[in-house]
Amino acid sequence: MTKHLDLARYLRPGDRVVWGQACAEPRALTELLVAQRHRLGGVTCFVGIPAADVLRPEHTDALAVESYCGTGSNQALRPAIIPAPYGTLPGLLAGGALAADAVFVQVSAPDGHGRHSLGLADDYVSAALGTARVVIAEVNDQVPFTAGARTLAPADWAACVTSSRPPAELPAAEAPAVARAVADRVAGLVEDGATVQFGIGGLPEACLGALAGHRDLGIHSGLLTEAAMRLIQAGVATGARKTADPGAAIGGFLSGTAELFRFAHRNPAVQLRGTRYTHHPAVLAAQHQFTAINAALEVDLSGQVNAEVAGGRYIGSVGGASEFLRAAARSPGGLPVIALPSTGGRSSRIVARLSGPVSTPRSDAGVIVTEVGTADLRGAPVSVRYERMLGIAHPDHRAALAAELEEQLRNGNRG
């Protein structure tokens, strides 16, 4: 690996640096940034989902940190949170209010034409590449060459380092029994031939696993995981009935381990695209039976969703749930799903009043699923929603929820 790149030649004090999230983090470059941070005059790092621990709290003595999410090690970093819908990130980073001055990007070894694939993430980084003042690449020969992803040539970057190291990994956690019970209920709602989107976390992963008995599913999502890979390998996710991109699973980035990276290498059945495509309302709504499956921290009795804050800590994100749910509601035969266990510890996750922000408004609520049951809120007035949501709360919490609701109604809060 080239270790002597002087970042001060390319970065200016006050610059905003953006790099690929999750497994796409160019660790050779972020390690240099951390090592040289005191000589750079103060730069801001825009980070996404963390998979490596290169950036740590002690490095904020000279580096400011921003993010759209509070997942994983971001909690310790305490970044300035940008509560923006995921689909707006390309515009914000490409000349908008969060304009990237510099982009660090991890790319594959070149193909026969001298082109390097973005490999593990096209995502929002692709948009920032088009407007940043400077691009610095890490050429890693262990990064897959993925279909669909943007390619770069040496003329597209100002400097590069080379490496040969396994990319960072994000292995899926084992889903608890309650998550599998929720997933089984969700799977029972999904039609054969549907195009499925799924969110981040163990519960959406469990939902994919529960779809193993389906036929001719399509995949169009913000990320692609090993659970999605297994559906493709099993002949379940053929993409045969997709309106757009038939035969291919579409995602913004890969989240998994070396097994997924090997599967995606030069595989036309796995294609990465930029966020402007993966989250485009018209692309999503036009998909055959577009089915959006997203998780939540809590849902109130009217269908409002908090996916950001739990116990006073910012641990989630606004993400793309509202964009996907709206598209599913518009898609012919589409299905907008929010899935969550009915309880978290001793507390109900079906609540009379959210303890955090409204990440998804009740106007975008579709079908809410817990291990207890299913509440279809589409077209339902608020009074009917109350009844249906109480029905999917854990029995141990229903009486207290009903009493809290009654108190709210007495005080004039009728939604």
Domain boundary (123, 138, 163) is at: 163
123 in any annotated domain: yes
Q: Say whether both 285 and 258 belong to one domain.
A: yes
∠ at Cα 277 (271, 282), nearest 5°?
Answer: 125
3 in any annotated domain: no
168 in any annotated domain: no
pLDDT tens string 14-34: 999 999 999 999 999 999 999
Structure tokens at 32: 């240099």
Q: Say whether both 136 and 198 belong to one domain.
A: no
Q: Say whether both 120 and 152 belong to one domain.
A: yes
171 in any annotated domain: no
Q: Say whether both 107 and 216 belong to one domain.
A: no
Q: How confident is the model at residue 304 (pLDDT cuts 50, 70, 90)?
A: very high
415 in any annotated domain: no
Among candidate residues 18, 80, 69, 45, the one with its CA nearest the CA of residue 320: 69
Interior/surface letters 8-34, b for 16+ CB within 10 angstroms, e for the rest: eebbeeebbbbbbbbbbbbbbbbbbbb
Q: How confident is the model at residue 173 (pLDDT cuts 50, 70, 90)?
A: confident
Q: Say whether both 347 and 232 belong to one domain.
A: yes
Is pLDDT of 4 > 90?
no
E-strand stretches of 203-316: 218-219, 223-225, 249-251, 253-255, 270-272, 290-295, 298-300, 305-306, 309-310, 313-314
pLDDT tens string 188-197: 999 999 999 9
pLDDT tens string 250-269: 999 999 999 999 999 999 99
Is pLDDT of 413 > 60?
yes
Torsion angle, alpha carbons of 54, 60, 66, 68, to 10: 50
Torsion angle, alpha carbons of 82, 86, 87, 88, to 10: 0
Q: Say whether both 135 and 225 belong to one domain.
A: no
* pLDDT (mean) for 169-174: 91
Q: How confident is the model at residue 2 (pLDDT cuts 50, 70, 90)?
A: low
Q: Say whether both 59 and 14 belong to one domain.
A: yes
Is pLDDT of 1 > 50?
no
* Confidence at residue 366, expressed as pLDDT on a 0 to 100 scale: 96
170 in any annotated domain: no
Q: 28: domain range?
A: 10-163
Q: How confident is the model at residue 415 (pLDDT cuts 50, 70, 90)?
A: low
Q: How confident is the model at residue 139 (pLDDT cuts 50, 70, 90)?
A: very high
Backbone angles phi, psi at 199, to 5 degrees: -85, -170
pLDDT tens string 352-366: 999 999 999 999 989
Q: Say whether both 159 and 213 belong to one domain.
A: no
What's the whole-model pTM score?
0.95
Q: Say whether both 133 and 255 belong to one domain.
A: no
Total structural domains within the chain: 2
172 in any annotated domain: no
Q: Say whether both 223 and 346 belong to one domain.
A: yes
Domain boundary (134, 163, 192) is at: 163
2 in any annotated domain: no
Give the rounded percent of residues in the chain with a pLDDT score beyond 70.
99
Looking up residue 126, the CATH number of its domain turns out to be: 3.40.1080.10
∠ at Cα 4 (115, 111), nearest 5°?
Answer: 10
* Confidence at residue 3, expressed as pLDDT on a 0 to 100 scale: 57
Q: Say whether both 186 and 152 belong to one domain.
A: no
Q: Say whether both 186 and 134 belong to one domain.
A: no
Domain boundary (137, 163, 189) is at: 163
Looking up residue 232, the CATH number of its domain turns out to be: 3.40.1080.20
CA distance 396 to 415: 25
**Least trusted range by pLDDT, from 344-348, 401-405, 411-415:** 411-415
C-alpha distances out from residue 329 to 65, 200, 325, Å: 36, 20, 6
